[in-house]
Structure 1
């Protein structure tokens, strides 16, 4: 299991936001985001910046309940007609979130929508929220998405944990369907260093699914560079893309991808 550590997560919130900002420089903010069809690039930027400010408010106030968006200072941000102001707003929000999370420390108890009600949860969640939306922005802008191997592997770990949590609560009907003994999915990053253990085995059971790191035969395997496996597993890249390889029962992978969610 990968653990980047609280300080690294705080640093990554800023780093990933800086990379997102670089993607948006000179881009048409009214351009549609194919992987988030209801959004433009401007909407995506404000979603990320608003999320950073929301989490910063939750942690700073040690909230014991969800904080409504209208109670978050400067939640909405500038419009598309002010790209320089939007860029500065993104940078400021990421830095504020990172500073507040760093000052709080990982063990500070705060509200979250998950079973883990700590500042550590939010530092990790905001890292990967920003990573995945940076992938969305790269796709919309037509540029290559790149991400550090350990960050990408941890994003897959976190996604599996979220889907498993969603299934365990019984609240997500689609996640509840991820069951049925005798089936399995293997994720295999072909370009990651051996020490990273960037392989995953998801095993379906009658009561749900479990997962672990490991290299074993499975009903279906998804293979490719780690950044592309991450994007495919997060439904940012089609599973039939020539950038990844699907071996075995492709319908099982499609079954997973259609149902893996959290809310």
Structure 2
């Protein structure tokens, strides 16, 4: 059982809101600008990836899929035009279709996810944070400010830890299994409201890692700073030595976690 901290409708609305923010950046951009946090892509490639992921997830939900949906079976997977305006419009439409299909399905509708939990709520949450993190990619590439609501940022960290701790995450990031304890990594936001509780503890043991919300002043390593910056460091969108966050204790342990907790 997964505790979804945000209302299902909120996730659906955040998918379109975050994607529209990305589309605004795309609309005024040179599509050939490289994305340093995703070196294989330029802005056009990033936008197409986001839109294709949303359209694929929408098809999965819409068809009540019981298994993986081949991308080749999903319609309209590329923008009609190659100019920034066409790509941005297609991207907005991708998010709108996904939000509509999620809304029609409802939170508890059973649908394939490849994860321990199989319902539409998983896709609403996952696609929200897909947009949240790729918004950071676009902002970094184009040199613009990046912000995200604190409750969304906190949930993005929760969701990433949930994914990494799942069997799917273990297969996608197998090197994380090399990192054994004893040892603990604390994440602490210095600017969040108490009701958000933006503090986490990752405990490394002989059989892998577990995590929970909460504070531990004796952690082996502590990453602390503004929540949005902690989020970006944890997702490897910002270096830990950027000066925007502090790393207290064993900095090497955090580096080893970040280096292994990535897909591909």
Q: Normalised by the shorter chain, which TM-score bucket? A: over 0.9
- 1:47 paired residue number: 49
- 1:186 paired residue number: 186
State yes or no: 1:24 paired with 2:26: yes
Mapping of residues 73-88 of structure 1, within 5 Å: 73-79=75-81, 81-88=82-89
Question: For 1:168 and 1:44, how far apart are their aligned partners in 2?
Answer: 22
Q: Any idea what SS the aligned residue of 1:114 has?
A: coil
* 5+ residue gaps, structure 1: none
Q: Any idea what SS the aligned residue of 1:147 has?
A: coil
Question: For 1:38 and 1:262, how far apart are their aligned partners in 2?
Answer: 14
Mapping of residues 2-151 of structure 1, within 5 Å: 3-79=5-81, 81-151=82-152
Q: Any idea what SS the aligned residue of 2:188 has?
A: strand
- 1:176 paired residue number: 177
CA change 1:78–1:251 in 2 (3 A) is farther
State yes or no: 1:202 paired with 2:193: no
Contact 2:170–2:177 (CA under 8 A) maintained in structure 1:
no
TM-score (norm 1): 0.95
Contact 2:164–2:261 (CA under 8 A) maintained in structure 1:
yes
Q: Any idea what SS the aligned residue of 2:229 has?
A: helix
Contact 2:181–2:206 (CA under 8 A) maintained in structure 1:
yes
Contact 2:164–2:170 (CA under 8 A) maintained in structure 1:
no
Aligned residues: 261
TM-fit CA distance, 1:166: 4.0
Contact 1:13–1:126 (CA under 8 A) maintained in structure 2:
yes
Contact 1:13–1:130 (CA under 8 A) maintained in structure 2:
yes
Contact 2:16–2:92 (CA under 8 A) maintained in structure 1:
yes
Contact 1:185–1:202 (CA under 8 A) maintained in structure 2:
yes
* 5+ residue gaps, structure 2: none
What is the RMSD computed on CA atoms of the aligned residues? 1.6
Question: For 1:168 and 1:126, how far apart are their aligned partners in 2?
Answer: 16
CA change 1:229–1:206 in 2 (3 A) is same
Question: For 1:64 and 1:239, how far apart are their aligned partners in 2?
Answer: 40
State yes or no: 1:238 paired with 2:239: yes
**Which deviates more, 61-70 or 226-235?**
61-70
Contact 2:221–2:250 (CA under 8 A) maintained in structure 1:
yes
